Amino acid sequence: MKLPIYFISDLHLNLNGKNYDLKKRNSLSNFFNHILQNGGTLFIVGDLFDYWFEYKYFIPKNYYDILTKISQLKSKGIEINFIPGNHDFWINDFAYEELFSNIYPDGAKIYIENKKFLILHGDGILKNDFGYRILKNLIRNKLFIFLFKLIHPDISYELAKFLSQKKHKNIKNDSIKKLKSELAIFAKKNLNNNIDFVLLGHYHLKDEINLESGKLILLGDWMKWKTYAFFDGKNMALKEWK
């Protein structure tokens, strides 16, 4: 795995196409160009797309620009690792064979330069996520996926557009503190198992939390923060793309 390593999460590319999130796509394209010019490895830690359901013969045209850019990176030898999120778990042959170098459906535990990383999208790990965990198992079930594929792509993507119109609610400061505290407890349990870095997306929070035996990185997002984690082989830091 080539250094440096870049980690990004929660881009939520708009289903309506490039003109609806032009600034975000342009900044992402510039970020990809930076990696292309300087080399390294990329981890996309879920929710690259606001919605992705891969049919056998159908690819959504509104993601064409980013799909082309990812394909270019891969063709130039950039290793692109993908951890599916709760918005883009339903991937198939195209994602495995054409887009990404490696896909980790349940997150990744990997060694990089003698450091052990736990990289998760982060959905379903909170104590009060019990109901969501049941739903998650249901919608990832092979029978559900088979039945959902019977719906015409135009209908399923229009439904996804309708559902994605719900805005992310601003979290109050007290709730943020409680959320970070619970995520830190989750990270501590894993850091005690000889893991050095825990990286999480999903929560749209950006932070570096130093714990006794390692570090928790909350990756933020590219909707508000445009943050990414950067590992050069020795040091890990959370940065903001300018």
Whether 11 contacts 227, CB under 8 Å:
no
Q: Which amino acid is at 100?
A: F
**Arithmetic mean of pLDDT, 128-147:** 93
Is 164's pLDDT higher than 80? Answer: no
pLDDT digit string, tens, across residues 58-81: 888 999 999 999 999 999 999 999
Mean pLDDT of 117-146: 94
Closest CA to 217 of 118, 88, 92: 118
Contact assessment for residue 53 and residue 156, using Cβ atoms and an 8 Å cutoff? yes
Per-residue confidence band for 166, with pLDDT thresholds at 50, 70 and 90: low
Q: Is the pLDDT of residue 229 over 70?
A: yes
The residues with which 207 forms a beta bridge, in sequence order, are 218
Which pLDDT belongs to residue 234? 92
Query: What is the percent of the chain with per-residue pLDDT over 90, rounded to a whole number?
Result: 86
* Distance (Å, whole) CA 156 – CA 97: 24
Q: Is 128 helix (H, G, I), strand (E, B) or coil?
A: helix
Average pLDDT, the chain: 93
Query: What pLDDT shows up at residue 168?
Result: 55
Q: Point out which residues pair with 49 in neighbouring strands.
A: 13
pLDDT level of residue 103 (50, 70, 90 thresholds): very high
CA-wise closest residue to 45 among 219, 238, 226: 219
pLDDT score recorded for residue 171 = 66
pLDDT higher than 70, residue 220: yes
**pLDDT band at residue 170 using 50, 70 and 90 as cut-offs:** low
**Confidence at residue 242, expressed as pLDDT on a 0 to 100 scale:** 86
- Asked whether the predicted pLDDT for residue 169 surpasses 60, the reply is no
Helix spans in the chain (H): 22-38, 64-75, 93-94, 130-139, 142-148, 153-164, 173-191
Over residues 88-112, mean pLDDT: 95
* pLDDT at residue 173, rounded to an integer: 72
Phi first, then psi: give them for residue 226, nearest 5 degrees: 55, 50
